[in-house]
Chains A and B, each alone.
Chain A
């Protein structure tokens, strides 16, 4: 369904050189759940944005259902069936939760239908449906509203950039149930960028990205044991760097 061929992305670096963010990424996504994991700064989010069309790769091609979509805009890709949930959801003054879910669904939704999507992500629909998607909502609430939008879109490919951030008050089990239900409905692929072991645990395929390369790729049973060893190290270094 989705195929990345030799995808690379560099930005101008210091002293006129180039900094390579992603290098020669080759990846096929056709499974139910594919998880992309790897240390912070490894290029995972860039990869997700390249798939959604937010970032244009400096080399390589992106294919979707056999069509070369490398030069298509964000809008055209969305209309062909790619959804993208932001790591940090965007806030809007004035647009309500119902507005966004309706825009996602591509039609004016009845209150009952819009509410059903919110209930699926564990939000009391009545309280949220007419709220503005502004700074009064917490990061976790915004994340769940964004997942509700992706549910309303129901596209062939849904890309989630760290969906677990801020949802601790809800639960991983529910998040995973939402993904399973989403797959039942769309019969498509769900690509999830995540560090969370419990999310990796449901993946049919795990892709480990490190330093802009695919360091390992394969079935959960093969990758997860290796990964847990290396991830512990990553977490440790992250904590050290964050603490000072």
Chain B
């Protein structure tokens, strides 16, 4: 397989914490094309024939395996829409690392929109890690619009860790999930925007099964003149528990809106929403300054701790 150049290697490191093509099952998409893929004994990756994207089949009972599916875009002006479907068999215990890195050195906008659908089999456990990162010295914008659809079978467990820390000018993130009996969905989302960036994140979780539950936590920092919108709808349609939390730090002239909605459509649905938006508390800065940090260092520590 061809070598990645240094720009792409850096993008790969940013979004997947790896320097080279990963070991085990992977699919690497570069500049709108499938760059390489590798199946493992239990995980097979099949290129879609009707539209861009892949189908991933993870055999029932697959344990302690990981799958990497990074996407790198270094060609300015490239726009793509990719469909990735994950069919996760019953009783699996797997980690999936996705992520998109854009390097836009030109003047045209680059855009990656990924539609990821997860079909999580009975009693399967999935950890899904997704990082979005943008860079580039051109005037072209980096746009990413990920949609995640999750369908969880009885007893399944999914943990999503998503992070967009740098360089994405505009994002509209949509997460929709349906949970069957005793299924659990945990989401930890981290977003940082700066400059004039805009980030929107929408969650819609249907708690349909008995004793299913979700915990959606979004932590974000908005700097400069950036804007963010957090919207969550959690529908409790049975005996279930749901918790959403939106916690944001605003700095400079940034604005953040949080629009939570929790709907209890069953007498035994127990739903909680918490939202807090505010600047860094003065006493936090003072405290770290008494440890010898400058005000700027204190601010950096508070922000990086918050988004850790």
Contact = CB atoms under 8 A, between A and B. Distances in A.
A115 interface: no
Taking residues whose C-beta sits less than 8 angstroms from the other chain, chain B's interface range is: 20 to 34
B287 A86 contact: yes
Given A92-B302, A92-B305, A94-B307, A103 B293 contact: yes
Q: Is the interface of B mostly helix, strand, loop or mixed?
A: helix
Interface in A198-228: none
A104 B287 CA distance: 10
Nearest to A86: B287
Contacts, number: 59
Contacts of B267: none
Q: Is the interface of A mostly helix, strand, loop or mixed?
A: mixed
B291 A103 contact: yes
A1 interface: no
Contact of A75 (B294, B304, B308): B294
Interface stretch (B2-10, B155-163, B196-204, B278-286): B278-286
B289 A74 contact: yes
A9 interface: no
Contact of B290 (A78, A94, A106): A78
B286 A106 contact: no
A153 interface: yes
A90 to B, nearest CB: 4
Given A75-B295, A90-B284, A103 B301 contact: yes
Contact of A153 (B291, B295, B307, B308): B291
B305 A94 contact: yes
Contact of A104 (B291, B305, B306): B291
B247 interface: yes
A79 interface: yes
B305 A95 contact: yes
A93 B306 contact: yes
B118 to A, nearest CB: 28
A78 B293 CA distance: 8
B283 A90 contact: yes
Given A54-B286, A92-B284, A75 B305 contact: no
Interface string A91-119: 01111100110011010000000000000
Contacts of A75: 289, 292-295
B290 A83 contact: yes
B298 to A, nearest CB: 8
A90 B301 contact: no
B288 to A, nearest CB: 7
Contacts of A149: 291
A78 B292 contact: yes
A40 interface: no
A130 B81 CA distance: 40
A33 interface: no
Interface string A64-92: 00000000011100110001101001101
Nearest to B292: A78
Contacts of B247: 93
Task: Please indicate which of the listed interface residues B281, B283, B290, B306 has the most CB atoms of chain A within 10 Å of its own CB.
Answer: B290
Task: Please indicate which of the listed interface residues A75, A96, A106 has the most CB atoms of chain B within 10 Å of its own CB.
Answer: A75
A7 interface: no
Given A78-B291, A149-B291, A95 B286 contact: no
